[in-house]
Structure 1
Amino acid sequence: MARRRKSKPPAPLVPAVLPLIVAEAHGDTLVITTNGDKASAETVTREDLWSVIADRISDLGVPTRIELHEPDGRVHADILDPPPPAPTTDESADEEPALESPEPQLVELNADGFVPGEEIVIAVVIRHASADSDGRTRVLLDPTETDEDGVEVVLAGRISGTATVRPLT
């Protein structure tokens, strides 16, 4: 009985050759060509090299091989990906404008019965605070961190076990 050979899945479709941008250095200037097209050659300074290459890669829209040929014969090569496409104006128009949140304000909550220096838990655990030398604590809260009016805040001492409920006003 003959054995059947497993067939390989088809290879993904990829371009046979990556686009090629060559920058030939001549002192402080470079001549840049894309895919060997001398008609599109551009002379730039070394300072402008990478912005010109970035523009060309962005125009090509696919990964591109970059070669920098130095006068001494060295060749530096890399493959660079294009930047992701920018959202179209239609997509950005559908987004809701960001709401400006009010400035955080100091809300002072006082409670007694804590041990001096004790860590105080503030629940819905937004912050941790410590009690002062008199066993009192002062907490800075941002009211925008809560989602409704009339929220109550629980202050609980980790050592004393003291728990106090205060309205956030």
Structure 2
Amino acid sequence: MINRKAGETPSEPPVDLPLARINVDERGVMRVIYNGRDFPPSTPDASWNRALFGDLLDAISDHRTHTVRVEVHEFDGSVFTDILHAVRREQAIADVQSLSTTRRARHGPTPQLIEVTGSGFIPGEDVTVAMSLSSAQRSAGGSARAVIDVSQLVDHRLEILLIGRVSGVIVTKTFPS
């Protein structure tokens, strides 16, 4: 906080960050207000949704060339705030060059993939994917404690959980070893 006498003018102007306010409804559709004005998607018939969140952030910050304050207001009342910092041009060029070097260096074995599906989630909802190492009992006070053997982290546990961040839906799939 700056302590100034009445009538004193600041020596430097205050920082003025553009504000992007994103209101998310229960279906995951987002209404975006950028500096007090609607910010529609580039496609006229489309709407912003959770799946396009990265594209939205790129569009708002003009591909990270402008610093922007972002407020996400979820339909359940929770609010998330962050500042997207602009990337300096030299840093962006260096990142692109190091990315191509990294791609050439990755010639490892092809990963074996499995698909896990579930239903009951809210459209556009963020879903956490988790691997179950073990289960624990709750205490009389309602808390739980898990002690994990580090060797379990390299074991191929094949119980996968899909957890809806908004709906609270949990889907469990067990795969044979």
Q: Which structure has greater strand proportion?
A: 1
Q: Do they superpose with TM above 0.5?
A: no
- The structure with higher relative contact order (CA 8 Å, sep 6+) is 2
Could you state the TM-score of these two structures normalised by the residue count of structure 2? 0.37
